[in-house]
Amino acid sequence: MTFKVFVDGQEGTTGLRIHEYLAARSDIEVLKIDADKRKDPAERSRLLNAADVAFLCLPDAASREAAFMVNNPNTCLIDASTAHRTAPGWAFGLPELARGQRGAIQASKRIANPGCHASAFILAVRPLVDAGLLPRDAAVTATSITGYSGGGKSMIAEYQQQPLPAHLQAPRPYGLGLKHKHLPEMMAHTGLATPPVFMPIVSSFYKGLTVSVPLQLSQLAPGTTPEAVHAALAAHYAGERFINVMPLRDAATLEAGFFDVQACNDTNRVDLFVFASDTQVLVMSRLDNLGKGASGAAVQAMNVHLGVEETLGLV
């Protein structure tokens, strides 16, 4: 069977990467809009309603507008923006989130693609909350370091200047107003009662992302050990093709002395780590911010929704 797919916002970073994923798929017919009609509402509406699956790779307001254009009950929307990630009636497009999430994605015609920072944070934290190790009212902090491609075309152009300006050569913390756009989904899909204190950092490499969540063992349920934290992650993701729980205190990383933020690049994989002392644990989640953090996640959600092999086009 061939499925018709339209990418609204096909010239953006996420849209272009989705096209790359779909290019080799014999089961997909990609519907393309002529360059001179990309902002024509009538043509966009026609293609959105002609598609079995339509990806919205647009700013939030434009995604909401596009969603209102769809009156075909058979069109599934997968929105890569922030607009619908906590909205009622929209399934969260993270199949590994919890038991039953794949069923919700398959059944829904409205799927919200997770954010890159949020995906890494949620995948690290949700199993600990579900296992009862991390209280829902815990005061959690997180730091994320990411490549500049997550900032879209304008930031990519900024970082690809030659020579690179001095102020872009060092990592740049941002989101200093403590109101990052991913915070609502980071709360909603982990079960935390309060938003984490979240520090994102962009640096002068193209792609790759790592979220670090430091925890005192005293914050966790009484008697919790590093082994229990690691076991909760391993149990939650047992059998998951795209989630790799690394050994406790991963020896190869410790021997290297440094953490490789880019080791999941060009994959749809997430690596999860637990480093620990007698009193503290550091949970780290690594992914490609353009892969599992954006376009790869969208294609994975499409595969789940359509009932085809979940890894199709992603490995």
Do 22 and 299 touch, CB atoms closer than 8 A?
yes
- Crossing angle of the two packed helices 13-22 and 296-306, in degrees rounded to 10: 50
In degrees to the nearest 10, what's the CA dihedral of 31, 32, 34, 38?
A: 100
Nearest Cα residue to 48 out of 110, 141, 117: 110
Q: Which of 57, 76, 116, 264 is catalytic?
A: 116
Show Cβ contacts of residue 251 under 8 Å, excluding neighbours closer than 6 positions: none
Q: Is 167 helix (H, G, I), strand (E, B) or coil?
A: helix
Give the residue among 268, 272, 270 at the shortest CA–CA distance from 311: 268
Nearest-angstrom CA–CA distance, 63 and 209: 25
| CA 125 distance to own-chain centroid | 14
CA separation for the pair 315, 312 (Å, rounded): 7
116 classed as catalytic: yes
Task: Name the maximum alpha-carbon separation found in the chain.
Answer: 63
Q: What CA–CA distance (Å, rounded) separates 305 from 303?
A: 5
Find out whether 204 and 164 touch, Cβ atoms under 8 Å.
yes
Catalytically active residues are 116
